[in-house]
Amino acid sequence: MDFALDEELRMFRKMFRDFAQNEIAPLAETLDKEERPPLETLKLAAEQGFLGAPFPEEYGGSEIGTIGYCMMLEELGKVCMSTAMIIEVHTSVAAMCIYLDGTEEQKRTYLEPLALGEKIGSFALTEPGAGSDVAAIQTTAVRDGDEYILNGNKIWVINGGIAETFVVFAKTEPEEAQGITAFIVEKDTPGFTVGRSEKMMGLHGIPVATLFFDDCRVPAANILGGAEKLNQGSATATKALDHGRLGVGAVCLGVAQGALEAGVQFACEREQFGGPIALKQAIQNFIADTATEIEALRYLVYHTAWLVDQGQKYTKEAAMVKLFGSEVANRAVNCMLQTHGGYGYTKDYPIERMYRDVRVSRIFEGTDEIQRFIIAADILGEKGLKIRP
């Protein structure tokens, strides 16, 4: 067992850290205030190959491996969770669906521009009546000649307002719980409209939108994976969400680390009772507990990334990373906001934004409760016990 990072990974980490500090961090507060996406820094990130980091070079990717990719999300998450999550959803979930299950032609046509960052991707599964219970989606896709006609709505779609390529899940066998198919839908397809961005507690840099499909005609050739993947959309979503959960865990690792660094700096500078508050044991406990949890999370993230690169099954580990990562990050921002005292509750310090941004990590890409179900289902499944959510 070798825990040392090789030379290449150390070099990548320095590059991600420099980019995050120099390009992403200066814009984080502006995005939050102006409630707009970081289009200028996404363009720079694309030029660096960040938007196709884990994909093979033959599809426009940078092929840096999953550990390198997670390090990238960690460094981005440390300074701006909005930017990190735009890239995470684009890569780990939207583009990943096409990489994992798309036909060769679909990879050339749709994955390549996504990996090069020429286009942004979105993943549209959730509906007003179907969140955790994915099988309850009501968007339908009905065959008509060489086309499918889509009708229905998708809600809370990250990148909705800036994406050009959407992976959309619809029922092709409405009577069957698993009769779901994934379609690749382009932005300008007639009958498809993107609503305004949602007003949210945090992550103000992300356009999260409702999508409307009104007799939207999509070529049958846009079934993700071709005709053989008809009614196989649930499996595609599950695989992409495994990667997504690892990605969210990596972003959370960065948020927790960023919060710790902000809290430590504040604790060393803020004086009460004649000296820095860092000399008080209560504050030292916040720092020690947060740092310990971050260290444990970092190994969980890197180990799960390693499983991905080894081609091993990692559904349970991805759920653990997501569950533990979101809990660690939420506890870290909470402790570090407490360390800031009243200043932490003002908009003068980034910890206030981090506190609002990170809360949703316990909800999207599967709630904490659903992650616990996935972990328990895997463990009990080995005992021959099949449990239901």
Ligand X SMILES: Cc1cc2nc3c(=O)[nH]c(=O)nc-3n(C[C@H](O)[C@H](O)[C@H](O)COP(=O)(O)OP(=O)(O)OC[C@H]3O[C@@H](n4cnc5c(N)ncnc54)[C@H](O)[C@@H]3O)c2cc1C
Q: Tell me the CA distances in angstroms from 246 to 91, 291, 319, one per residue in order.
A: 12, 20, 8
Catalytic residue among 74, 293, 317, 365: 365
Stated length of the chain:
389
CA 358 – CA 200 distance, rounded (Å): 12
CA 350 – CA 320 distance, rounded (Å): 28
Least distance in angstroms from the C-beta of 144 to ligand X:
25
Least distance in angstroms from the C-beta of 204 to ligand X:
11
Handedness of CA 13, 19, 24, 25 (dihedral sign): positive
Backbone angles phi, psi at 123, to 5 degrees: -125, 115
Note the helical H segments in 210-280. Answer: 233-269
Least distance in angstroms from the C-beta of 154 to ligand X:
6
Please tell me whether residue 389 binds ligand X under the rule CB under 6 A.
Answer: yes
Question: Are 236 and 67 in contact, with CB atoms under 8 Å apart?
Answer: no
Least distance in angstroms from the C-beta of 223 to ligand X:
18
Please tell me whether residue 81 binds ligand X under the rule CB under 6 A.
Answer: no
Please tell me whether residue 42 binds ligand X under the rule CB under 6 A.
Answer: no
User: Which residue is at the shortest CB distance from ligand X?
Assistant: 131
Specify the DSSP class assigned to residue 105.
H
Question: Are 234 and 171 in contact, with CB atoms under 8 Å apart?
Answer: no
Please tell me whether residue 360 binds ligand X under the rule CB under 6 A.
Answer: yes
- Strand-pairing partners, residue 171, are 140, 180
Residue from the set 25, 125, 162, 264 that interacts with ligand X by CB under 6 A: 125
Please tell me whether residue 365 binds ligand X under the rule CB under 6 A.
Answer: yes
Please tell me whether residue 367 binds ligand X under the rule CB under 6 A.
Answer: yes
| Residue span binding ligand X (CB under 6 A) among the ranges 182-190, 265-273, 334-342, 369-377 | 369-377
Please tell me whether residue 242 binds ligand X under the rule CB under 6 A.
Answer: no
Least distance in angstroms from the C-beta of 355 to ligand X:
15
Q: 154-173 mask for ligand X (x: CB under 6 A)?
A: --xxx---------------
Please tell me whether residue 329 binds ligand X under the rule CB under 6 A.
Answer: no
Q: CA torsion angle for 196, 255, 130, 137 (degrees, to 10)?
A: 80
Residue 291 burial (C-beta neighbours within 10 Å; 0-12, 13-18, 19+)? middle
How many residues touch ligand X under the rule CB under 6 A: the total is 22
Residue from the set 172, 366, 371, 377 that interacts with ligand X by CB under 6 A: 366
Least distance in angstroms from the C-beta of 128 to ligand X:
8
Annotation marks residue 365 as catalytic: yes
- Strand-pairing partners, residue 154, are 211
Of residues 85 and 283, the one with the C-beta less far from ligand X: 85
Q: Tell me the CA distances in angstroms from 106 to 99, 113, 148, 253, one per residue in order.
A: 9, 11, 17, 33
Please tell me whether residue 325 binds ligand X under the rule CB under 6 A.
Answer: no
Question: Are 104 and 115 in contact, with CB atoms under 8 Å apart?
Answer: no
Between strands 275-276 and 271-272, the pairing is antiparallel
Residue from the set 27, 46, 84, 124 that interacts with ligand X by CB under 6 A: 124
What are the residue numbers of the active site?
Answer: 365
| List of residues contacting ligand X (CB under 6 A) | 89, 123-126, 131-132, 156-158, 200, 208, 360, 363-367, 369-370, 373, 389
